Amino acid sequence: MMSFQDIASEVGIKKPSIVHHFSTRAEPGVAIIRRYRDTFAAQLQEISEDPANSPEDALEFHFSPYRILLLAQTKWVFAARARVRCLLRRKTCVSK
């Protein structure tokens, strides 16, 4: 989970600026989802209107974020399993 402080540090502003801009804790998440949805829809529309692109191109574009997320999540799961195994064996673990 990401905090307002995490966001502020990443963006390079102070936390109160974020708190002032968004009235609830849910608003940043909603804004991110809306922006992603609108950008994704516009890009998919551009692909479908370009005669040089095939229906397969549109499908590839549509599913690419999910494939990337799945790959990232799989890597995280393997790393977490390795960490748990290491802790169960009471060994010193090195994070990668």
Helix (H) or strand (E) holding 86: helix 55-88
22 — phi, psi (to 5°)?
-105, 130
Q: How many whole angstroms separate alpha carbon 27 and alpha carbon 31?
A: 6
Q: Summarize pLDDT for 2-18 with one digit per residue, the tens.
A: 788 888 888 888 888 88
18-44: pLDDT as tens digits: 888 888 888 888 888 898 888 888 888
